[in-house]
Amino acid sequence: MQKNTIYEKFGISNKVLELSDSIISSLRERFDKIDEIAEINAAKVLSAFQENRVSAACFAGTTGYGHDDLGRDTLEKVYASVFHTEAALVRPQITCGTHALATALSANLLPGDELLSPVGRPYDTLEEVIGIRPSACSLAEFGVTYREVDLLPNGDFDYEGIKNAINEKTKLVTIQRSKGYSMRPTLSVERIGELIAFIKNIKPSVKVMVDNCYGEFVETIEPSDVGADMTVGSLIKNAGGGLAPIGGYICGTKECIDRCSNRLNAPGIGADVGASLSIMKDFYQGFFLAPTVTAGALKGAIFAANLYEKLGYHTVPNATEDRFDIIQSVELGSKEAMCAFCEGIQAAAPVDSYVTPIPYLIPGYNDDVIMAAGAFVQGSSIELSADGPIREPYAVYFQGGLTWNHAKLGIMMSLQYLVNAGIVKL
């Protein structure tokens, strides 16, 4: 069967296909570099599996208290090996990335302490965790204060502002690697390391947490390699490889991880309980596949940037910039264009492809949000997905694709739906 014949089944026109193929042909060299990074990261993960003697017995789940859970305890050693940390907490009881971050923050901040973000406002769902937007059980309710220093207009760190913001109350610094719902640049691990060194030079006792969501395995090093005390993420993003059905991770110093374990479970109980049920094989296999799955998603993001920039849209990162996470934002300029884009992504999904995404107010957000995610795991953003808040500049955030081929199809479908709506003319 000819390629254009199969794409015709999805309603993709020859014009969209020809434009897409011409752009992809120019990206071969960049794709080869992504494959080299994936090769290094895959070997790193395999080495960690072997060093920690992963066996078939690790896939057997536990129930109840989960005492003596070989699979759980070994997996945490594997994560610590890959992230080069003293300890790790990798649990299905961590429900999402926000929960992992909230656990790390609340475990390592006490009443009277201050939390600092030197990279501007964090992702929307953390606003209620911190208490920027009032919420029950926020850090603010427990007497933790917060301040932030915005990035400079060119995306650089405001080192003078950061220096002035650090004071005797500053206990923990949170650094968000990815852009969240903003059009700022994503931070490379190298830049994160420079920022951590600057902060620790001012106040060596301060702890640094990095929100690593969407960034795992995009580079050959992680924030924990450049001084982060805690590196935190979700298993339904990169690290889960599309197979983990739930969960999150926190990798870091033993001191920090012990506190996180006590906060997640109960003081005095810590990491000793937490049944893994029957999902350990998915956790292991997903982590094993994660470097390759991330590489496919990264190719999709680069393709999206090049395609939409050619059509005149503002993209972050742009078509030629280096990549430090899997998210591609495209400034579409209107609610109608955001909806059409997301409808195309949903129509390319293996699950719920017949559903039309519509904007609505989701818990944890302050604006209506449109989300396209026909995924095997609900809300999994390592799978093909796109979302964004319905507010200026009306930017949509595309990410994922368990394979490069699926990411490519999703992007072509997003463009086709914009063409069908009369928003884009080819």
- pLDDT tens readout for residues 185-217: 899 999 999 999 999 999 999 999 999 999 999
Q: Which two tokens stand for residue 302?
A: 């680069």
What is the 8-class DSSP label of residue 152?
P
E runs forming strands in 307-350: 314-316, 328-331
Q: Is residue 130 part of a domain?
A: yes
pLDDT of residue 1: 61
Closest Cα to residue 272, out of 259, 262, 284?
A: 262
What is the 8-class DSSP label of residue 225?
G
Pick the last residue of a domain from 266, 282, 298.
Answer: 282
Percent of the chain with pLDDT over 70: 100
Task: Report the pLDDT averaged over residues 230-238.
Answer: 98
Closest Cα to residue 114, out of 146, 88, 140?
A: 146
Instruction: Based on the fold, state whether residues 204 and 79 are members of the same structural domain.
Output: yes
For 272, residues 6+ apart whose C-beta sits below 8 A from its C-beta are 67
Structure-derived torsion over alpha carbons of residues 157, 161, 167, 171, reported in degrees to the nearest 10:
-30
Pick the last residue of a domain from 260, 282, 304.
Answer: 282
Per-residue model confidence as pLDDT tens digits over 406-421: 999 999 999 999 999 9
pLDDT of residue 364: 74
Model confidence at 182, pLDDT cuts 50, 70, 90, reads confident
Instruction: Based on the fold, state whether residues 357 and 268 are members of the same structural domain.
Output: no
Encoded amino acid at 297, one letter: A
CATH number at residue 306: 3.90.1150.60
Per-residue model confidence as pLDDT tens digits over 309-363: 999 999 999 999 999 999 999 999 999 999 999 999 999 999 999 999 999 987 7
pLDDT of residue 91: 98
Instruction: Based on the fold, state whether residues 124 and 205 are members of the same structural domain.
Output: yes
Closest Cα to residue 360, out of 371, 350, 369, 348?
A: 369
Model confidence at 228, pLDDT cuts 50, 70, 90, reads very high
Percent of the chain with pLDDT over 90: 95
Please state the domain count of the chain. Answer: 2
Instruction: Based on the fold, state whether residues 77 and 217 are members of the same structural domain.
Output: yes
Instruction: Based on the fold, state whether residues 126 and 215 are members of the same structural domain.
Output: yes
Q: Is residue 56 part of a domain?
A: no
Instruction: Based on the fold, state whether residues 236 and 375 are members of the same structural domain.
Output: no
Task: Report the pLDDT averaged over residues 162-185.
Answer: 94
Q: Is residue 307 part of a domain?
A: yes
What DSSP assignment string belongs to 231-269?
EEEETTTGGGTTT--S-EEEEE-HHHHHHHHHHHS-TTT
Instruction: Based on the fold, state whether residues 257 and 384 are members of the same structural domain.
Output: no
Instruction: Based on the fold, state whether residues 198 and 318 are members of the same structural domain.
Output: no
Per-residue model confidence as pLDDT tens digits over 2-49: 777 899 999 999 999 999 999 999 999 999 999 999 999 999 999 999
Instruction: Based on the fold, state whether residues 361 and 335 are members of the same structural domain.
Output: yes
The SS3 assignment for 370 reads: strand
* C-alpha distance from residue 390 to each of 133, 337, 359, 371, 387 (Å): 19, 11, 7, 11, 10
Q: Is residue 33 part of a domain?
A: yes
CATH number at residue 180: 3.40.640.10
Q: Which residues pair with 220 in a beta bridge?
A: none
Per-residue model confidence as pLDDT tens digits over 80-128: 999 999 999 999 999 999 999 999 999 999 999 999 999 999 998 999 9
Task: Report the pLDDT averaged over residues 213-236.
Answer: 98
Instruction: Based on the fold, state whether residues 114 and 248 are members of the same structural domain.
Output: yes
Pick the last residue of a domain from 238, 258, 282.
Answer: 282
Report whether pLDDT(184) > 90: no
pLDDT of residue 3: 79
E runs forming strands in 120-256: 145-148, 170-176, 207-211, 230-234, 248-252
Q: Is residue 53 part of a domain?
A: no
Q: Is residue 181 part of a domain?
A: yes
* Dmax (CA) of the chain: 68
Instruction: Based on the fold, state whether residues 186 and 312 are members of the same structural domain.
Output: no
For 23, residues 6+ apart whose C-beta sits below 8 A from its C-beta are 303, 306, 307, 310
Q: Is residue 298 part of a domain?
A: yes
Mean pLDDT of all residues in the chain? 96
Report whether pLDDT(375) > 80: yes
Q: Is residue 49 part of a domain?
A: no
Instruction: Based on the fold, state whether residues 268 and 310 are members of the same structural domain.
Output: no
> What domain range is 341 assigned to?
3-42+288-420
Per-residue model confidence as pLDDT tens digits over 283-306: 999 999 999 999 999 999 999 999
pTM for this model (two decimals): 0.96
Residue 103 CA to residue 250 CA, distance in Å, equals: 9
